Structure 1
């Protein structure tokens, strides 16, 4: 396997090493890619050093899991990889294929965690996933029930670790406290959205979690729905892009109206990309990977050349000096001010005037 200078880091406070760039199936598998295309992309990602592949029960109503599982088996048959070579994850909350959309076919109850994960494993034709994520917090289910359910599936050998996705720092802290009190496994990592335009949660809200619990992160949407590639500059919509799909018409409206400022800022980043000798997409992905609290950046692609361009971003991570990162902050104006927020909080609580 050619690593293409891939970087690896421990996933949270665990012994497993995860590639700094990983590959996900959201939007693409079954919607834009068939089995043959998905296999070629997974194979190439692996050749470039990727060892982590992300999925969810709800992606393409479960079809994405089926395609990923079939692609994995094809790679085994062709001698490309073995199960020990790869890390697979799926996410439970929204239900998958075969769900009759009943009141208990979703959420994070013990019932749906167990039934949902078993259904995912059947679709993927796997005995276990390496990580099972709680795809969203479930306010209808006590966190202790979810923590115990996740520990149950780990004890049954259906997953090795569990994590959260888009949970608040308070919810993750409660889950860790419950786990510690009951002698159970804590959540290992969180899967949050993170990119140049969406920074507060990972950089500010989760900061105490890294220090106290050793929480890792598998971030998604490094290109901000494709905005940071620059391909939508001038409100252009390339054929085959995400915004060209009819199901994302509402997102298209938001990008060209509510997020028009992001298109303008993306254009302003072009000189930095040119100076580094990379594309805007590579700059955006490398920027995410350069954050020491990011364990892995989940990328997506519909074409080999797109995947290869994304993965070459790893070469530019060391080139993002503190000076370059500061310049990006100045151009974008999106860096959250931790000190200002702490000062405001202290003032509100009467600790400062």
Structure 2
């Protein structure tokens, strides 16, 4: 495993991070979650990313049980706030942030998180209130650093204008071979302000693993079998175009001596702006397969071949990911 600096935070994070959105849920076997988490620690993963909304707190509860058995300085813990929780509803008002950080810490069985992220922007709350509330979380020692996910350039600039570029250590956008939208504006703006990228869905919700084929039913147990997972994919990608592009990528991966998963993750990590790529896993062997991409460098010839194979399939223009909103409210 290789490690990269997380913006201006002074932290080093593993190039591959483990996310909890995929396998932590109310009815998921805790022991299966434990096996995946322990495999991640054994593989050198140090960054564990979750959110209060995942399973309405179930993800945080699970990692509170599992990770609290390890020394607190042996891993970095990131969680998020904004999503609708039963006790507070949704948003980034000062009272909600104050309540939700305490609830997250209780579930996670820790007195602080290393990274506290605004899961989305809240245009219904004055940005001054949100930023002040997030800064208070750091001042109280409940979070070491702050980040955001899926904010627009306007929203990022508004926050920086208020509190300076040192406010945020990280940005968490969707980014993959098929979703290249962050390259258009976000990466450059964040790099100018020393804000690193921790990207989600680097495998395009499994489409870049090669397990889905054009005109073929999805494998049993895969996300596309689940109605919600299938809707999420088709809302983002033109499935026919995307799967055809993935078919064209397969021989490129073979020629480079890689599988598709490794090629896709290495492609994401080729960008210096990316500190880590968040992956999900339901089995330990998936963790090991994903971490194999750390340190893999793709040659210029391979990168050129990837561009040709992708063709017009990727989203390349500035585009909001699901749940993201435009606009800034000022007090």
In 2: Cα distance, 1:110 partner to 1:40 partner: 37
Pick from 113, 120, 130 the counterpart of residue 136 of structure 1. Answer: 120
Contact kept, 8 Å, 1:95 with 1:105, in 2: the verdict is yes
Shift of 1:211: 3.7
Correspondence for 1:346: none
Cα distance in 2 for partners of 1:61, 1:246 equals 20
Spell out, residue by residue over 1:158-217, the C-alpha distance to the aligned partner (whole angstroms, 9 max, x if none): 10001100001221111111003xxx951111100000111122x121143234211101
1:282 shift after superposition: 1.3
Aligned partners of 2:5 and 2:13 also within 8 Å:
yes
Check conservation: 2:138, 2:145, Cα contact below 8 A: yes
How far apart, in 1, do the equivalents of 2:281 and 2:77 lie? 17
- Higher share of residues assigned helix: 1
Partner of 2:244: 264
Q: How far apart, CA to CA, are the structure 2 residues paired with 1:329 and 1:247?
A: 30
Taking structure 2 as the reference length, the TM-score comes to 0.90
Residues 282, 310 of structure 1: 8 Å contact kept: yes
TM-score (norm 1): 0.84
Structure 2 gaps, min length 5: 318-331
| 2:45 equivalent among 44, 47, 50 | 50
Specify which structure has the bigger relative contact order, considering alpha-carbon pairs within 8 angstroms and separated by 6 or more residues: 2
Distance of 2:234 and 2:316 partners within structure 1: 30
State which of 28, 31, 42 in structure 2 corresponds to 1:36. 31
* Greater Cα shift, 49-58 or 278-287: 278-287
Q: Note the residue ranges of structure 1 that are not aligned, 5 or more in a row.
A: 1-5, 339-353
Aligned counterpart in structure 2 of residue 247 of structure 1, from 228, 231, 234? 228
Structure 1 residue aligned with 2:74: 85
Q: Distance in 2 between matches of 1:226 and 1:249?
A: 11
Query: For residue 329 of structure 1, what is the aligned residue in structure 2?
Result: 307
CA RMSD of aligned residues (A): 2.0
Q: Map residues 55-134 of structure 1 onto 2, 5 A cutoff.
A: 55-73=50-68, 76=69, 81-96=70-85, 99-100=86-87, 105-134=89-118
Residue aligning to 2:176: 195
Determine the C-alpha separation between the residues in 2 that align with 1:42 and 1:217: 22
SS in 2 for 1:233: coil
Describe the SS at the equivalent of 1:231.
coil
Q: Alignment partner for residue 149 of structure 2, among 149, 165, 181?
A: 165
How far did 1:336 drift?
A: 7.9
Q: d(CA) in 1 for partners of 2:227 and 2:315?
A: 34
What SS class does the counterpart of residue 274 from structure 2 fall into?
coil
Q: 1:295 to 1:226 in 2, by over 3 A?
A: same
- Of residues 161, 185, 188, the one that matches 1:208 is 188
1:147 alignment counterpart: 131
Q: Which runs of 4+ in 1 moved over 4 A?
A: 252-255, 334-338
Residues 279 and 33 of structure 1: is their aligned pair in 2 closer, same or farther, counting only changes over 3 Å? farther
CA distance in 1, matches of 2:178, 2:188: 22
Cα distance between partner residues in 1 of 2:26 and 2:218: 18
Q: Structure 2 CA distance, aligned partners of 1:333 and 1:213?
A: 32
Q: Does the 8 Å CA contact 2:179/2:316 hold for their aligned counterparts?
A: no
Shift of 1:249: 4.4
Q: Distance in 2 between matches of 1:112 and 1:168?
A: 22
Alpha-carbon contact 1:13-1:215 (below 8 Å) kept: yes
Please tell me whether Structure 1 or Structure 2 has the larger radius of gyration of its CA atoms.
Answer: 1
SS at match of 1:56: coil
